[in-house]
Every structure is written in structure tokens, then in C-alpha cells.
A and B are shown apart, each in its own frame.
Chain A
């Protein structure tokens, strides 16, 4: 939320039309359908682009930074156990997990 507020303020400050693009849908918000990303980087959520974040125990999570939205979900093998692949050191990330959105955000 802090991040989205930042985006809103920045867009308005530069006088961009993106000011009206505030994704929270001014006044009452959106309907119960949460399957889409709205706004300038609009897409169906099946199109998200992920990387790997390694937790402090060394286990993998899918990480996605999609403009103003962030997603994190555990990587599980077919048996339901955590995948701890050793692809990177704990707390490091691998892959272009910010590459799926054209929205610029400072982090």
C-alpha cells in the first residue's frame, strides 16, 4: 500500500494521466473478480513472470514484482514438500522477477 501511494503521488506530481490510473479504483474499489491486473500494465494474472527467492532456511519461493503488486508463493514439489534447490544463497533472488511489468517502481 505504501508503494502504491508512492506511485500515485509521483504520477500526480509529474502531471501524468497515470494519476487517474490509480489501481485501487477510486470510490468503493472493484468487483469480486480479482483475476485481472488493471491499469497501465493490464493483463490476466496467469501471465505473471516469476523468479526465485531463497528463504533464510534455504528453501525456494516464487517471487513476482509486478509494478505496484508483489506476489510470493511457496515452491513445492509434487509430493507437497518444500523445494530447497540451492540455486542461490539464503535471502538472494534469481531470475527476472520484475520483468513482467512496465510500471516503474523504485523497488
Chain B
């Protein structure tokens, strides 16, 4: 008797939960004709990786295809591998606070651009967190421009030059080692 009541209650609770779940699961229940198909208006995408290594959401609903870049909530693309093909430690090319590249550094960069043969290059400068943000933005931009000038002299096409100052660290600025890693010019090769 007790078990019969228990079973009945159990079944009733189960039914109530199922109904609740269905109500929750189908909030989109046919607001428009576009949600009336077998999919109930739900589009589950997969990932397509572009030749640069960055992800895109992709869907095929039968006769149409849809695609959009996969970016984080702050707008940064989700990429599987770094597209940076040249990473310059600025200590090896510039004196502190300077954006002039010494002779040996110029020759090395010339060699790099002549041997890489990309369609174009994006060059971005970065600093550690010492000095003001404004100063670092200017210094990193000037350094990126110095590298771009050599690229152009080698006949390469530069599609963009940017200075990010201290705003995109790759390591912690609390140690000398980390700061050295952050002082860099990145060269992205577009193929």
C-alpha cells in the first residue's frame, strides 16, 4: 500500500518535472514560422578552422550555409596556433627608450623579410609596464614603425603597424624575466 502510494507520488512528480522541463526547454516554441521545423529553431554549430588557424562557427541547415568568426566576449578571435611568425626581443635590437635599430639588427631583419616571402605583414610593438601607459604606447608604435620601414625597404608589403604599449603582456611584469618577455615586436605573416 505504502509502496503503491510512493510509486503514484513518484510518477506524479516525474510527470510534473517532465512538463516543467519541456516548458523550460522550449521557450522558443514557434514564435515565428522559422521555429516550426524539426529543429524547433535550434541551430547547433560546429567549428571550421581557417588557414590562419582561427576558428569560425559554421552551420548547414540543408540548403543554406552559415558562418561567423568565433571570438571571445571581448572580441578576441579564438585561434588554435599563434600566427606570429617573427618574434623580436626588443632588447636585441633597440637601446632602452630608443626606437632606432642598430646595424646588425637591421641586417638580420632584412634577411628575415627577404627569406619569409609572405603576402603581407602586420607589425605590432609591445613594452613592459614600466613608465606611463601613454609613453609606452608611443614607444611601441615607434619601434613597430622602425621594423616596418625595414620590411618595406626589403620590398615586403606591410598591411598594418600598431603599438599596443604595455596592454598586451605575454608574461607577468612582476619579474625581470617576465618584463623582458613583454618587451617585443611581433610580426604576423599573412599568407
Give the CA-CA distance A76 to B83 in the complex, in Å. Answer: 11
Question: B118: shortest Cβ distance to chain A, in Å?
Answer: 9
Give the residues in chain A near B66, CB-CB below 8 Å: 34, 71
Whether the pair B82, A46 counts as a contact (CB closer than 8 A) is no
Give the CA-CA distance A31 to B44 in the complex, in Å. Answer: 9
User: Cβ of B119 < 8 Å from any Cβ of A?
Assistant: yes
Interface residues in B165-181 by Cβ distance below 8 A to A read 168
Interface residues in B22-59 by Cβ distance below 8 A to A read 37-40, 42-52, 54, 56, 58-59
Question: A59: shortest Cβ distance to chain B, in Å?
Answer: 9
Give the residues in chain A near B188, CB-CB below 8 Å: 77-78
User: Cβ of B79 < 8 Å from any Cβ of A?
Assistant: yes
Whether the pair B46, A29 counts as a contact (CB closer than 8 A) is no
Give the residues in chain B near A33, CB-CB below 8 Å: 44
User: Cβ of A104 < 8 Å from any Cβ of B?
Assistant: no
Give the residues in chain B near A78, CB-CB below 8 Å: 54, 76-77, 79, 82-84, 188
User: Cβ of B157 < 8 Å from any Cβ of A?
Assistant: yes
Stretch binding the partner chain, chosen from B67-75, B89-97, B134-142: B67-75
Give the residues in chain A near B62, CB-CB below 8 Å: 23-25, 29-30, 38
Chain A: which residue is nearest B66 at the CB level?
A71
Give the CA-CA distance A73 to B40 in the complex, in Å. Answer: 25
Whether the pair A77, B39 counts as a contact (CB closer than 8 A) is no
Question: B35: shortest Cβ distance to chain A, in Å?
Answer: 11
Known: A48-B58, A73-B68, A79-B124. A34 touches B45 (CB 8 A): yes
Chain A's interface: helix, strand, loop or mixed, by majority?
loop
Q: Give the residue among B44, B76, B124, B159 with the most A Cβ atoms within 10 A.
A: B159
Give the residues in chain A near B162, CB-CB below 8 Å: 79, 81
Give the residues in chain B near A93, CB-CB below 8 Å: none
Give the CA-CA distance A54 to B79 in the complex, in Å. Answer: 21
Question: B164: shortest Cβ distance to chain A, in Å?
Answer: 8
Give the CA-CA distance A40 to B159 in the complex, in Å. Answer: 41
Whether the pair A83, B190 counts as a contact (CB closer than 8 A) is yes
User: Cβ of A37 < 8 Å from any Cβ of B?
Assistant: yes
Whether the pair A62, B50 counts as a contact (CB closer than 8 A) is yes
Residues of A within 8 A of B (CB): 1, 4, 22-25, 28-38, 44-46, 48, 50, 62, 64, 66, 68-81, 83-87
List 8 A-B pairs, Cβ < 8 Å. A23-B62, A28-B38, A46-B46, A48-B58, A73-B69, A75-B52, A83-B159, A86-B157
Identify 8 new A-B residue pairs, CB closer than 8 A, beyond the known A34-B46, A37-B65, A78-B82: A24-B63, A25-B38, A30-B61, A32-B44, A34-B61, A38-B62, A73-B50, A76-B69
The 4 A-B pairs of least Cβ separation, nearest first, read A69-B65, A35-B46, A4-B63, A34-B59
